[in-house]
Amino acid sequence: MTRPNKRKKHTTRSEEDVMIQIDDDVDDINFEDPSVLNDISDLFFFCKQQINSRFISTLVYMSLRHFGHSWRETDDFMKEIGAMTAKTSKKWAHVLVNSDLDEFTTDERGGKRGDSFWDNYRDLELEAKDLFLQNVQKKNHLLRL
């Protein structure tokens, strides 16, 4: 009788030790509940702040289409969560699939070259916006009279 390989024996033992029971402490999620859509939208907004929205929108578009959702369903869902439209995401998916990753990730819009005045003086920007809104409200009030 041959002895089992130590590496194989170790792997088998560690796999048995790390049994994950997914269903124990997790409640079911009703993904059709409108409140879940708000959570998805919040998560998407957070992801847009962290990375380029083109990447995450294209990922969502390609995933939904991969799982058989229609173009209209995909477009409606993407609009609801604040993603790019399905039309735009389809164009970027085409670039990703038919070109290469470098072309997909290249951003040729120039980007931000330096801090603007408002970047350096945030409090002044807020005061200017408040003053503008007050003047607009005064003007609207005078027009009603």
Q: What is the pTM of this model?
A: 0.54
For the chain, give the DSSP string: -PPPPHHHHHHHHHHHHT---TTSS-----TTSHHHHHHHHHHHHHHHHHS-HHHHHHHHHHHHHHTT--HHHHHHHHHHHT---HHHHHHHHHHHHHS-HHHHH---S----S--HHHH-HHHHHHHHHHHHHHHHHHHHHHH-
Amino acid at 39: D
Q: Dmax of the chain from CA atoms?
A: 102
Q: Of 86, 85, 80, whose CA–CA distance to 35 is shortest?
A: 80
What pLDDT score does 70 carry? 95
Domain residue spans in the chain? 31-105
Sequential pLDDT tens for the chain (145 residues): 555 555 555 555 555 555 555 555 557 888 888 888 888 888 888 888 888 888 999 999 999 999 999 999 999 999 999 999 999 999 999 998 998 788 888 876 655 666 777 777 888 888 998 999 998 888 877 777 6
What six digits make up the tokens of 69? 């959702």
Rg of the chain in Å (alpha carbons): 26
